[in-house]
């Protein structure tokens, strides 16, 4: 981590500054020892005028007299240590000063020291025990910046396209790693050969390798969706610091990647130097893992849908070309042979061709359900019903459009397809002389939808719940037509239902405008 500082709240010239400087050199030997700096005791660390002045601080040392003045100052914050670990130097034999220090939030107290050897100063042990862990953990301002990064990442990853997933996840990792002063972030996804490093970041670049699940620390806890940190998180975030050496592994946090209650990966956050993890910091890393899991899951589903759409498009091409073309040839030769074939045989062959054409149309419609509707416009139901009726070969059946049947907002082609399927369904189940009616549904508030009814046998109550299922039929038909009707209605945000009333009645809940009036 960046070099941190210990703030000494004392007057200029106070011997406390020299004492803390000497004790710090003993407690934290090496080039990364905290810098000791003095701050005017009349300006507390929590002074609102300069909220960032403790951004790099890892602890505060002051005296009982300075602390007492700070506590008595009504204009000062109730937390004179600025949420940092504080050590207070108290006079010997004054227990009230000790109590005041702890009430103010001090982490520890220490007595005066008049010796010349800093190594024998009890302040050394106090600094190592209280401020030591804090110098290796992310500061509160750092946590705030990390929170802001994750809020931005949530928006970014939610709107990620398939070709941007890797770039944006690793860009987010970079932003988090830099704010949190990490050395590596790796997202491992569960695969056939182990956990593969799918997304990763490091400021110096590196090449992670596949890992077995048992190679992660505490895999049993990861398998139950728990976060695992090394060193472990303590109540104050001051767990025993770990350092990345040949003998001691890096300080790490491993967060499970969970999708629909299944472990699908592990995200590893690593630091080569000393680090103490806080619960808040680990929870923020869990948030990043959840964002990555959501982005990966959405992308996988998007790719699955794209693959399905491509297969359906291939299927549609086969149906449209390889089946329809031979059928068109057969239909043409059948027309040429009309005078040479007995009427009874010709009718049977013509019906078979018509049925094949209907099946092909239904299959194409079902295969293209992802493009159920296109542009919508306000269309008159009566004219669309008449157009749909023209495509139904039932010369002895009748269609009636009731007065008051108005206009609806719909994709004309798809709506006409729905009406065609309803009309064919009526002929299939009601017979060649069935009577069909289309009209408005009227409720207490006026027109609330429309209906398509027939005078056939109706729908048996025990199959009413299944009539819109694909493949279901009680007649010699494909069982696809009503499923298409249901999907077209759903694509328009309509609902369709069926009941019996001297035949089958299909009712649509939709908004219907009154029919257009013709000026006299």
Q: What's the pLDDT score for residue 152?
A: 87
**What's the pLDDT at 122?**
94
**Which band of pLDDT confidence, cut at 50, 70 and 90, is reported for residue 134?**
confident
Distance in angstroms (rounded) separating the CA atoms of residues 219 and 256 = 10
- Mean pLDDT across the chain: 82
Q: Quick one: pLDDT at residue 510?
A: 92
| pLDDT of 457 over the 80 cut | yes
Q: What's the topology of domain 371-513?
A: Heat Shock Protein 90 (3.30.565)
Selection from 452, 453, 374 nearest residue 412 by Cα: 374
Average pLDDT over every residue of 256-270: 92
Indicate the helix (H) or strand (E) that contains 65.
helix 64-72
204 — pLDDT class (breaks 50, 70, 90): confident
Q: Which of 45-54, 136-145, 252-261 has the lowest mean pLDDT?
A: 45-54
pLDDT digits (tens, 9 = 90+) for 274-333: 788 889 999 999 999 999 888 888 888 888 878 877 777 777 777 666 777 777 778 887
Tokens of 494: 């309509």
Show me where the domains of the chain are located. 5-135, 141-303, 307-367, 371-513
pLDDT of amino acid 417: 86
Which comes out higher in pLDDT, residue 184 or 48?
A: 184
Instruction: Give the closest residue to 388 by CA, choosing from 377, 401, 376, 375.
Output: 401
Highest mean pLDDT among 78-92, 95-109, 462-476, 506-520: 95-109
Structure confidence at residue 200 (pLDDT): 92
Mean pLDDT of 233-243: 47
Residues facing 259 on adjacent strands? 262
% of the chain residues with pLDDT over 70: 85
Classify the C-alpha dihedral 406-410-412-415 as positive or negative.
Answer: negative
Residues of the chain with pLDDT > 90, as a percent, come to 34
- Residue 88: pLDDT band (50, 70, 90) is very high
Confidence band of 446 (pLDDT split at 50, 70, 90): confident
C-alpha span between 215 and 142 (Å, rounded):
31
Say how far apart CA 514 and CA 197 lie, in whole Å. 62
The answer to whether 387 touches 418, Cβ cutoff 8 Å, is: no
What mean pLDDT is predicted for residues 444-455? 90
**Looking at residue 241, what is its pLDDT?**
44
Average pLDDT over residues 372-382: 87
Contacts of 221 (CB under 8 A, 6+ apart): 228
pLDDT of residue 78: 56
Residue 162 is given by DSSP the state: G
CA pair distance 366, 481, nearest whole angstrom: 9
Phi, psi of 461 (to 5 degrees): -55, -30
CATH of domain 141-303: 3.30.450.40
Q: pLDDT-based confidence at 174, cuts 50/70/90?
A: very high
Report whether pLDDT(472) > 60. Answer: no
What integer is the mean pLDDT of 452-458?
93
User: Residue 70's pLDDT is what?
Assistant: 66
With bands split at pLDDT 50, 70 and 90, how would you rate the model's confidence at 505? very high
The answer, yes or no, to whether residue 171 has pLDDT greater than 50, is yes
The total of other beta-carbon atoms located within 10 Å of residue 4's CB is: 21
Question: For the residues 141-165, what does the mean pLDDT come to?
Answer: 84
pLDDT at residue 435 above 90? yes
| pLDDT of 54 above 70 | no
Both tokens of 424, joined, read 């064919």
What's the CATH architecture for 5-135? 3-Layer(aba) Sandwich (3.40)
Contact 503, 457 (CB under 8 A): yes
Is the confidence at residue 422, as pLDDT, over 60? yes
For residues 248 and 32, the model is more confident at 32
Beta strands in 19-103 (DSSP E): 35-39, 57-63, 86-89
pLDDT of residue 87: 93
- The 8-class DSSP code of residue 130 comes to I
Mean pLDDT calculated for residue range 21-39: 88
Rounded-to-integer distance, Cα 158 and Cα 293, Å: 11
* Greatest Cα-to-Cα distance within the chain, rounded to the nearest angstrom: 127
Residue 239: its pLDDT value, please? 45
Q: Tell me the β-bridge partners of 447.
A: 442
- Residue in 416, 338, 336, 407 with CA at minimum distance from that of residue 374: 416
Q: Once rounded to an integer, what is the mean pLDDT over residues 407-426?
A: 91
Across 47-56, 225-234, 344-353, 439-448, the highest mean pLDDT is recorded for 439-448
Say what the pLDDT of residue 5 is.
87
| Residue 234 pLDDT class (50, 70, 90 cuts) | low
Listed in sequence order, the residues at least 6 apart from 242 whose beta carbon sits closer than 8 Å to its beta carbon are: 230, 231, 248, 249, 250, 251, 274, 275
**CA 81 to CA 45: how far, in whole Å?**
6
Decide if pLDDT at 254 tops 90.
yes
Element (H or E) spanning 229, and its range? Answer: strand 228-230
Rounded mean pLDDT, 387-401: 90
**Strand arrangement, sheet containing 108-110:** 35-39, 5-9, 57-63, 86-89, 108-110
15 close to 44: Cβ distance less than 8 angstroms: no
Q: Does residue 389 contact residue 399 with C-beta atoms inside 8 Å?
A: yes
Q: Averaged over 468-479, what is the pLDDT?
A: 56
pLDDT at position 497 over 50: yes
How buried is 74 (Cβ within 10 angstroms: 0-12 exposed, 13-18 middle, 19+ buried)? exposed
């Amino acid at each position: 981590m960046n070099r941190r500082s210990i703030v000494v709240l004392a007057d200029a010239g106070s011997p406390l500054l020299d004492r803390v400087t000497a004790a710090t050199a003993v407690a934290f030997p090496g080039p990364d020892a905290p810098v000791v700096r003095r701050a005017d005791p009349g300006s507390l660390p929590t002074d609102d005028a300069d909220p960032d002045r403790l951004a790099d601080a890892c602890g505060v040392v002051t005296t009982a007299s300075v602390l007492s003045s700070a506590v008595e100052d009504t204009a000062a914050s109730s937390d004179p240590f600025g949420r940092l670990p504080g050590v207070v130097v108290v006079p010997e034999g004054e227990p009230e000063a000790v109590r005041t220090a702890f009430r103010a939030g001090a982490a520890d107290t220490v007595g005066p020291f008049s010796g010349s050897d800093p190594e024998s100063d009890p302040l050394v042990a106090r600094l190592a025990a209280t401020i030591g862990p804090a110098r290796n953990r992310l500061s509160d301002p750092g946590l705030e910046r990390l929170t802001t990064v994750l809020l931005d990442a949530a928006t970014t990853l939610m709107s990620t396209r398939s070709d941007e997933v890797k770039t944006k996840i690793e860009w987010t990792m970079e932003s988090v790693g830099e704010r949190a002063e990490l050395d590596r972030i790796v997202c491992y996804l569960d695969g056939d050969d182990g956990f593969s490093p799918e997304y990763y970041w490091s400021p110096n670049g590196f090449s992670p390798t596949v890992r077995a699940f048992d190679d992660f620390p505490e895999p049993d806890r990861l398998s139950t969706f728990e976060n695992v940190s090394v060193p472990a998180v303590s109540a104050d975030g001051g767990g025993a610091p770990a350092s990345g050496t040949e003998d001691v592994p890096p300080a790490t946090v491993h967060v499970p990647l969970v999708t629909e209650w299944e472990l699908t990966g592990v995200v590893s956050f690593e630091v080569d130097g000393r680090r103490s993890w806080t619960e808040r910091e680990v929870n923020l890393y869990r948030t990043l893992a959840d964002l990555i899991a959501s982005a990966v899951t959405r992308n996988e589903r998007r790719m699955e849908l794209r693959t399905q759409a491509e297969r359906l498009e291939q299927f549609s091409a086969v149906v449209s070309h390889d089946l329809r073309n031979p059928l068109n040839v057969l239909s043409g030769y059948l027309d040429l042979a009309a005078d040479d074939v007995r009427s009874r045989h010709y009718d049977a062959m013509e019906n078979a061709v018509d049925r094949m054409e209907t099946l092909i149309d239904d299959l194409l419609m079902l295969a293209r359900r992802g493009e159920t509707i296109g542009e919508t416009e306000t269309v008159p139901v009566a004219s669309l019903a008449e157009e749909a009726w023209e495509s139904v070969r039932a010369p002895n059946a009748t269609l009636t459009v009731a007065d008051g049947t108005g206009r609806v907002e719909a994709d004309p082609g798809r709506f006409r397809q729905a009406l065609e399927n309803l009309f064919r369904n009526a002929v299939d189940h009601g017979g060649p002389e069935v009577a069909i009616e289309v009209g408005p549904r009227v409720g207490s508030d006026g027109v609330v939808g429309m209906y398509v009814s027939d005078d056939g046998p109706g729908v048996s109550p025990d199959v009413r719940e299944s009539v819109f299922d694909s493949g279901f039929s009680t007649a010699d038909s494909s069982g696809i037509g009503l499923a298409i009707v249901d999907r077209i209605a759903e694509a328009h945000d309509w609902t369709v239902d069926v009941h019996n009333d001297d035949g089958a009645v299909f009712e649509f809940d939709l908004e219907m405008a009154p029919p257009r009036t013709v000026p006299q």
